[in-house]
Amino acid sequence: MSPTTITTTTTNLPHHFKPENFSKESIPTSKLSHKTILDILNTKCTNSPHHLRQAHAVVLKSGHFQDHYVAGTLVKCYANPYFKNLDFALKVFDIVPKPNVFMWNVLIKGCLENNEPLLVVSLYCKMVAMNCRPNKFTFPAALKACTLVQAVEEGVQVHAHVVKHRFSGDGHVKSAGIQMYASFGCMEEARRMLGEAGESDVICWNAMIDGCFKFGDVEAAKEVFENMQRRNVGSWNAMISGFSRCGMIEAARELFDKMNDRDEISWSAIIDGYNKGGYFKEALEVFYLMQREEIKPRKFVLSSVLAACANVGALDQGRWIHAYVKRNLIRLDAVVGTAVLDMYAKCGRLDLAWEVFEKMRPRETFTWNAMIGGLAMHGRAEDAIELFSKMERNKSKPDGITFVNVLNACAHAGLVDKGLRIFSSMKKLYGVDPEVEHYACIVDLFGRAGLLADAEDFISSMPVRPNAAVFGALLGACRIHGNVKLGEKVGKILLELEPHNSGRYALLSNIYAKAGRWKDVEKVRKLMKQRGIRTTPGISMIDLDGTVHEFKMGDSSHPQMKEIYLMLERIIERLQIEGYSPNTSQVLFDISEEEKETELRYHCEKLAIAFGLLNTTPGTTIRIVKNLRVCEDCHSATKLISQIYNRDIIVRDRVRYHHFRNGNCSCMDFW
């Protein structure tokens, strides 16, 4: 880019420096010193694009742009991820004659912070080609970029430069190199780098532990940990995180309990581990332990605990955390704010989620996604689409997750035409390439609307190979609309694609059972037995005064189970008076009608509702979280219960929310 072009670019900037924005004293632009300019850039321009533009004008007018440190600091300010202005940082850099290593480092770091690792690799190559010698600040960023884009050949070359320029002994360079080689699966090279000249500090050893776990070599990680001469809390944290990633949550907890000193990352690591393994109740129990030890949680722990609250519907605990954030003046940034928003949406309080969303600044793409996804799950399709339009008006760029959420909203509301228009606009208007999950959404869109032939044709025309999610959407539609022939065909494809997914067997069995094809049901059950597949038991959870109560069919461990069963009998009696008749087509066994009715009676969500009616005051909303889809019988029964007992009942199943009120459901019986 030529100097003329940059002058044109800055014609919209103020012609006169306004010192009142920076200092109380009036200083002529021409007399601003090199130090003053740097102070202005480093203090006043880090969070204000307006001040940055003014300072840029001053730098050009004063002639200080010729100084590499001033120009580099200017590039650093423009590369701030908060400003989303990396393109302009690159333009400013391009007009600097013979940039020094400081300037290259600033730009490389900026690109990394803006999630542009491929650009970092390209810039590093350009830097070397221009005979600018990299230093110890260049290499960690370059090695990390190679890790992120899995640039094996370039990563090896960067390491060669590290050796050539004698930076092998630098701890930060060494740890970045170890992580890179481990991510490539080159464990021998990682070990060799650990043993290279210079002291390997704790950071390097921790990088080696982390690398072993990422490569899946648990025993090697244990060996490294045991051989460390000096361990710090970071080493223990690396082991806990690694065990958790490998699904070894018991080993992680055992190590956590042995720790003499724990920091925030220790607590966050074990809570995250429980979350990733689906042990959300246990994650909350660790948080209670943290509170008992009077340790003040900060934002990383709070985000993890909010995720656990969201998954079990622990609204009371989630509200306490939100209050704690306010009380302790913790900034509701994009990470914490989105976690709070997501928790409220998943606990059935869209009103509170919306309140948080409206107050949040700035809103990242994932913040918009959380709110759009929340509206979609609650059946508020038109609102989700409207928010998507507002996102566009706010110049926030949608990503693949945004479109999954919007398309799901359309599918669950039967908005076929709107969904197809949005799908066709992805690439054309927003530059987002549709992936297989987006195609699955369209199959679901057609299928739920009963357009099974269109769904089949769409699958045939897909430019990507259909996966289990695509065929799963079609199988679900076959169950809804009772298409046994197509369901059988698709079901067999799915059992080949996912032979260990118990849900596929259950869905095919359900289709056969509804059609009265009991021999085929038995065949599916035998196949499951041969393959060692066990069905996932239905679990319903209800949060009461900060304690999560869990119910499973046939499990009598709850201390109130006797009263719950008695309450359920009274509920069923009242339902029958109102004309309720059990939908026995949901039972997957060829047994008598009476036995089928008994089977349906004790479904876990009915037990949870009975518990809720027993333990809450009249008029209180009952909130239930279920790990599977709500069955048709429980759905019909819950609609009637909401009317008889004058209660709002919110049930979150595996896919969406059902708001039951006065005999109706928000899903309009379309789920």
Whole-number Å distance between alpha carbons of 139 and 158: 7
In 3D space, the residue among 181, 230, 243 whose CA is nearest the CA of residue 207 turns out to be: 181
Which of the four pLDDT bands, split at 50, 70 and 90, describes residue 307? very high
Question: What's CA 128's distance to the chain center, in Å?
Answer: 37
Peptide bond into 362 cis (omega under 30): yes
pLDDT at residue 18 is higher than 50: no
240, 274 in Cβ contact below 8 A? no
Contacts of 61 (CB under 8 A, 6+ apart): 17, 29, 30
| Per-residue confidence (pLDDT) for residue 10, from 0 to 100 | 35
- The per-residue DSSP string of 264-318 comes to HHHHHHHHHHHHHTT-HHHHHHHHHHHHHTT----HHHHHHHHHHHHHHT-HHHH
Tokens of 403: 């479109």
> Is 8 exposed, middle or buried (CB count within 10 Å of its CB: 0-12, 13-18, 19+)?
exposed
| Per-residue confidence (pLDDT) for residue 20, from 0 to 100 | 41
- Alpha-carbon torsion angle 441, 444, 445, 446, nearest 10: 130
| Per-residue confidence (pLDDT) for residue 196, from 0 to 100 | 73
| Per-residue confidence (pLDDT) for residue 12, from 0 to 100 | 37
Contacts of 617 (CB under 8 A, 6+ apart): none
pLDDT at residue 597 is higher than 90: no
pLDDT at residue 292 is higher than 70: yes
Using one digit for the tens of pLDDT, what is the confidence trace for 546-593? Answer: 888 999 988 889 999 999 999 999 999 999 999 888 766 655 554 455
Which of the four pLDDT bands, split at 50, 70 and 90, describes residue 286? very high
| Per-residue confidence (pLDDT) for residue 421, from 0 to 100 | 96
Tokens of 30: 């021409």
Tokens of 485: 């022939």
pLDDT at residue 8 is higher than 50: no
| Per-residue confidence (pLDDT) for residue 43, from 0 to 100 | 81
Query: 180-189, 249-258, 445-454 — which is least confidently predicted?
Result: 180-189
pLDDT at residue 5 is higher than 70: no
Whole-number Å distance between alpha carbons of 461 and 457: 6
pLDDT at residue 7 is higher than 80: no
Using one digit for the tens of pLDDT, what is the confidence trace for 479-525? Answer: 889 899 999 999 999 999 999 999 899 889 889 988 889 899 999 99
Which of the four pLDDT bands, split at 50, 70 and 90, describes residue 52? confident
Q: How many other C-beta atoms can be found within 10 angstroms of the C-beta atom of residue 14?
A: 14
> What is the percent of the chain with per-residue pLDDT over 90, rounded to a whole number?
61
Q: What is the mean pLDDT of residues 432-443?
A: 96
pLDDT at residue 416 is higher than 90: yes
Using one digit for the tens of pLDDT, what is the confidence trace for 186-200? Answer: 988 998 888 876 666
pLDDT at residue 144 is higher than 50: yes
657-661 and 664-665 beta bridge pairing? antiparallel
Whole-number Å distance between alpha carbons of 630 and 632: 7
In 3D space, the residue among 348, 276, 355, 354 whose CA is nearest the CA of residue 314 turns out to be: 348
Using one digit for the tens of pLDDT, what is the confidence trace for 68-106? Answer: 888 888 898 889 888 888 998 999 899 988 999 999 999
Query: 41-50, 449-458, 604-613 — which is least confidently predicted?
Result: 41-50
pLDDT at residue 376 is higher than 90: yes
Q: Where are the domains of the chain?
A: 231-296, 473-531, 539-665
Contacts of 478 (CB under 8 A, 6+ apart): 447, 452, 484, 486, 487, 490, 491, 511
Whole-number Å distance between alpha carbons of 101 and 86: 19
- The per-residue DSSP string of 497-563 comes to H-TT-HHHHHHHHHHHHHTT-HHHHHHHHHHHHHHT--PPPPEEEEEETTEEEEEETT---STTHHH
Using one digit for the tens of pLDDT, what is the confidence trace for 656-670? Answer: 899 999 999 998 887
Q: What is the mean pLDDT of residues 329-345?
A: 93
Query: 107-111, 489-493, 595-599, 606-610 — which is least confidently predicted?
Result: 595-599
| Per-residue confidence (pLDDT) for residue 249, from 0 to 100 | 95
Look over the chain and give the mean of its residue pLDDT values, rounded to a whole number: 88
Which of the four pLDDT bands, split at 50, 70 and 90, describes residue 23? very low
* Residue 435 DSSP code: -
> What is the percent of the chain with per-residue pLDDT over 70, rounded to a whole number?
92
| Per-residue confidence (pLDDT) for residue 63, from 0 to 100 | 76
Whole-number Å distance between alpha carbons of 549 and 542: 5
Contacts of 328 (CB under 8 A, 6+ apart): 296
Query: 14-23, 108-117, 349-358 — which is least confidently predicted?
Result: 14-23
